Amino acid sequence: MDTTAKGVGVTRWQLACIDMAGTTVRDDGLVDQAFTVALAGQGVAPGTAEYERMRAVVRKTQGQSKIEIFRLLLGGDEQQARAANETFEEAYGLLVDEGAVTPIPGAAEAIETLRAAGVKVALMTGFARATQEAIIEAVGWRGLVDLTLSPAEAGRGRPYPDLVLVAALRLGVDDVRRVAVVGDTPLDVIAGCRAGAGLVAGVLTGACDRPTLLAAGATHVIGSVGQLPHLLGLEQRLPSLRTA
């Protein structure tokens, strides 16, 4: 598939809704580690058949709200799901504090380029707000974007379109076709398509390959979020001075 948005002018795009883990930041397996801790807290030990079954579900639901994943894993038991989610967020937050999260190369520069061209940027996640804030603080991105959203603030997480639509409402978008959505999982792509976004790009910095992202409905697939300005027809800024 062509990886350029031909004919796109600077003024067409009003908003870019961009995923975090796997798209703008790399956590080198922290999600897996935190899930293991959370499942152990519910009596599901690594190496057991039940653990492997749950890990398979986790892999298939990448990008979804974490509390929803635990509800699915634990048979809808709300008390267990909330307890597991709290353990997950705590474990992930501790790992983030240890410096295990780093920006995807070119991500900050891409965001700065978009904003310099008048395109607003919203960072989205399946994590809870506190974890999202910890990641932003860890990579030094405080004030880098116009909006950050977690599922609890939008109503529902991915694959529902709520995160994209809430961002569009809050940031004054005139037409959802002027929204670009970017993510590394099929659920990111599905959410963008359901929201009616004019461009839904998959990136290859996560766990999914090009065919998987295209099958989910991606209009474009790019190597990384650093290529997004070019995809939208914008001139790339010089390397950012921001450091993690």
pLDDT in tens, 90-113: 988 888 877 788 999 999 999 999
- Flag whether pLDDT at 175 surpasses 90: yes
Task: State pLDDT tens for residues 207-225.
Answer: 899 999 999 999 999 999 9
Confidence of residue 4 (pLDDT cuts 50, 70, 90): very low
Which whole number is the average pLDDT over 162-172?
Answer: 98
Residue 237 lies in a domain: no
- Mean pLDDT is highest, among 79-83, 135-139, 195-199, for 195-199
Residue 137 token pair: 């603080």
What's the mean per-residue pLDDT of the chain?
Answer: 89
Domain boundary among 59, 76, 97: 97
Identify the CATH number of the domain in which residue 140 sits.
3.40.50.1000
Domain boundary among 78, 97, 116: 97
Q: Domain limits at 107?
A: 15-26+102-231
- Mean pLDDT is highest, among 23-32, 83-92, 124-133, 216-225, for 216-225
pLDDT at 243: 44
Residues 76, 143 within the same domain: no
Domain boundary among 97, 121, 141: 97
Lowest mean pLDDT among 35-49, 63-77, 156-170, 189-203: 63-77
Confidence of residue 63 (pLDDT cuts 50, 70, 90): confident
Number of domains in the chain: 2
pLDDT at 242: 55
Residue 117 lies in a domain: yes
CA distance 11 to 204: 27
Residue 243 lies in a domain: no
